[in-house]
């Protein structure tokens, strides 16, 4: 039997990682893992349990307590913490504002990376894993590594539309740029493009075009390894 296909899709917020990863996984018959959702889930748990998310020692002390379970179906991705379905609440502004501080704590990362590697190891046909450090740190031997980019203005416009214009494009762009800086500047496995990743700038592409390009890149890689 062929080896499982591992596709790593990294990049900053709003570049299209989730939309692209789900579509690519569905097209290629692979599982799907949203690692950003896992960091959001543990952040939700910290906020819900009154942990000061700006106190790295408090976050580190409690990082092992939350049990995060991620679904890997690209058509119905779900996530729970301690048995509570948090698929919707992890998208709140409160969680979005706190997640970079929580995800910078090494104890949080090592626990999430364990979950992520276990999910990849148990995906029979293979998996598309999206995040910030998948190609560099979590799955450095991935079959194909993609790094999605887009201008900050385009990313902010996409996010603002998603929020039905309830938050202005300018405020969205400021928050997004702040989170990029925190994610790129942290010590432990920052947001970065792997040396062997292929960059796809999605600013001027439709989602379908991005998906086709990523599927073609994966197929090219498979043709060379199989």
Ligand X SMILES: Nc1ncnc2c1ncn2[C@@H]1O[C@H](COP(=O)(O)OP(=O)(O)O)[C@@H](O)[C@H]1O
Ligand Y SMILES: Nc1ccn([C@@H]2O[C@H](COP(=O)(O)OP(=O)(O)O)[C@@H](O)[C@H]2O)c(=O)n1
**Residues in contact with ligand X by the rule CB under 6 A:** 11, 13-19, 158, 162, 202, 205-207, 210
Structure tokens at 167: 């938050």
Q: Which does 22 bind (CB under 5 to 8 A by kind): ligand X, ligand Y, none?
A: none
**Cβ pair 79, 89 in contact under 8 A:** no
Sequence-distant (6+) residues with CB within 8 A of 88 are: none
Does the annotation list 15 as a binding residue? yes
**Per CB under 6 A, does 160 bind ligand Y?**
no
* DSSP conformational letter for 136: I
Does the annotation list 43 as a binding residue? no
**Which of 36, 74, 77, 135 is close enough to bind ligand Y by CB under 6 A?**
36
Please, what is the minimum distance in Å from the beta carbon of residue 90 to ligand Y? 8
Among 36-44, 57-65, 199-207, 208-216, the segment contacting ligand Y (CB under 6 A): 36-44
Q: Tokens 């890997």 belong to which residue? A: 72
Q: Which residue is nearest to ligand Y (CB)?
A: 36
Does the annotation list 65 as a binding residue? no
Nearest-angstrom CA–CA distance, 162 and 43: 21
Residue of 53, 98, 46 whose CA lies nearest to 68: 46
Does the annotation list 14 as a binding residue? yes
* DSSP conformational letter for 167: S
Which of 36/71 has CB closer to ligand Y?
36
Which of 192/222 has CB closer to ligand Y?
192
Q: 7-26: which residues touch ligand Y (CB under 6 A)?
A: 13
For the beta carbon of residue 93, count every other beta carbon within 10 angstroms. 11
Nearest-angstrom CA–CA distance, 192 and 132: 7
Please, what is the minimum distance in Å from the beta carbon of residue 214 to ligand Y? 16
- Phi-psi domain of 189 (left: phi exceeds 0; alpha: psi -120 through 50; beta: other): left
Which of 57/163 has CB closer to ligand X?
163
**Per CB under 6 A, does 183 bind ligand Y?**
yes
Structure tokens at 159: 């996010």
3-state secondary structure 176-195: HHHHHHHHHHCCCCCCCCCC
Report the binding-site residues. 11-19
Contact residues for ligand Y (CB under 6 A)? 13, 35-37, 39-40, 99-100, 103, 131-133, 179, 183
Report the binding-site residues for ATP. 11-19
């Amino acid at each position: 039997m062929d080896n499982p296909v591992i596709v790593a899709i990294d990049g900053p917020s709003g570049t299209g990682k989730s939309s692209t990863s789900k579509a690519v996984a569905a097209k290629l018959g692979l599982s799907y893992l949203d690692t950003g959702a896992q960091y959001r889930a543990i952040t939700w748990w910290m906020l819900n349990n009154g942990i000061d998310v700006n106190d790295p020692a408090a976050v580190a002390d409690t990082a092992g307590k939350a049990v995060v379970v991620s679904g890997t179906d690209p058509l119905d991705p779900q996530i729970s913490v301690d048995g509570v379905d948090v698929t919707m609440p992890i998208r709140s502004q409160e969680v979005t504002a706190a997640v970079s501080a929580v995800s910078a704590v090494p104890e949080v990362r090592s626990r999430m990376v364990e979950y992520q590697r276990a999910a990849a190891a148990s995906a029979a046909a293979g998996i598309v894993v999206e995040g910030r450090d998948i190609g560099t740190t979590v799955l450095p031997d991935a079959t194909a590594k993609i790094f999605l980019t887009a201008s900050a203005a385009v990313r902010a416009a996409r996010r603002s539309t998603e929020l039905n214009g309830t938050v202005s494009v300018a405020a969205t762009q400021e928050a997004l740029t702040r989170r990029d800086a925190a994610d790129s500047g942290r010590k432990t496995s920052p947001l970065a493009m792997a040396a062997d990743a292929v960059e796809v700038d999605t600013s001027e592409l439709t989602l379908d075009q991005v998906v086709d390009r990523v599927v073609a890149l994966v197929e090219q890689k498979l043709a060379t390894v199989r």
